[in-house]
Structure 1
Amino acid sequence: MPQHDMRLQFSLELPRDAALVRDARRTLDGALAGAGVTQECRDDIRLALTEACGNVVSHASLASDYHIDVSVEGGECVIEVTDDGGGFDPALVPAVEPVEPAAEPEGLKESGRGLQVLAAVVERLDVVSVQDTGTLVRFSKHLEWDPSGRE
């Protein structure tokens, strides 16, 4: 079966605990590595997942847990991270524009940088947050395949 025909779907429900972000990354990375996705592509996805989960752990203080939904189909990986942690006003976060990590705007504070980093490594990023309710961060990345086959 050609790699671009691979289908994968799974969901994780995790407590808002920074130590478990590593486990979520490993789970996803192991599945993508087994399917033959390149190291560089997996690194980008791991970084994006880390930033999205890190935002929940750091900022969604009202949430006791959060959800990660992963779908791989047609050569694209789509990840949704949702929480019911009270949401935020997206207008208060610096513009989410793709930037090269080395070219970050001067003066960009630590807060808000996670979305900047995430936007820099994925093709599409959507952030939907409803104050007093929660937040959905959805991002997608086209998968690149290791020509030598599965790792």
Structure 2
Amino acid sequence: MNMEFSLALPREAIGIPMVRRALGDSLRSLGVTEDCVADILLAVTEACANAVRHGGPANRYEVETAIGYGRCDVRIIDKGQGIIRVPEHYPATDVENGRGILIMQAVVDEISFDIAPGRGTIVHLRKHLDWDEDARFLDDRVLTAV
């Protein structure tokens, strides 16, 4: 079984809870552990916040999700300037920005950036799924195959 969905959202913070709800509910309904869901949602929230903040001049961004084969892949696509600087360490505590990419790296298994200057950025997040053994409603673990 493979599940895919995509959302086209306004470049406004109000869309981020919609992404969190759709993705979180999907993962929980499949029996993914709450810790794994929390990691994925944290990374996706950070990537969406960056798209909202830096994804102009377009007034929307997209989130594409694929869940299957024991993993969750999420792509956050914006039409911003396509400039990403990956910091080497966390900024000082009195600095407001600059932690998002490091947070994403810390909670997902793989992160990559497809950057096209002037045409936008795709942030690809991948996390291998951990299953809640108490979720008895999954009769077979087709999602963990391969």
Relative to the length of structure 1, the TM-score reads: 0.83
Cα distance in 2 between the residues matched to 1:150 and 1:127: 37
Percent identical among aligned pairs is 38
State the alpha-carbon separation in 2 of the partners of residues 43 and 86 from structure 1: 29
User: Which is further off, 54-63 or 136-145?
Assistant: 54-63
Give 2:5's aligned residue.
10
Query: Is 1:114 matched with 2:100?
Result: yes
**Do 1:35 and 1:150's aligned partners in 2 also have CA atoms closer than 8 Å?**
no
Q: How many residues end up aligned between the 2 structures? A: 136
| CA displacement at 1:110 relative to structure 2 | 3.6
Q: Which amino acid aligns with 2:74?
A: I
Residue type of the alignment partner of 1:76: R
Name the aligned partner's letter for residue 94 of structure 1.
P
Note if contact 1:16-1:57 (Cα within 8 Å) is conserved in structure 2.
yes
Correspondence list, 1:92-103, <5 A: 92-95=85-88
CA deviation vs aligned residue, 1:32-65 (integer Å, no higher than 9, x gap):
1111000000000110110010001112231211
Superposition pairs of residues 44-63 of structure 1, within 5 angstroms = 44-63=39-58
Q: Describe the shift of the 1:113–1:130 C-alpha distance in structure 2 as closer, same or farther (beyond 3 A).
A: same
CA-atom RMSD in angstroms: 1.8
Distance 1:56 1:106 in 2: 20
Higher helix share: 1
Name the counterpart of 1:143: 129
**2:140 aligned residue:** none
2:142 aligns with: none
Corresponding residue for 1:123?
109
Q: Is the 8 A contact 2:74 2:126 kept in 1?
A: yes
Counterpart code for 2:58? A
Residues 11-40 of structure 1: per-residue CA shift (max 9 Å, x gap): 111110101100111001011111100000
Which amino acid in the other structure matches residue 3 of structure 2?
A: L
Distance (whole Å) between structure 2 residues aligned to residue 57 and residue 106 of structure 1: 21
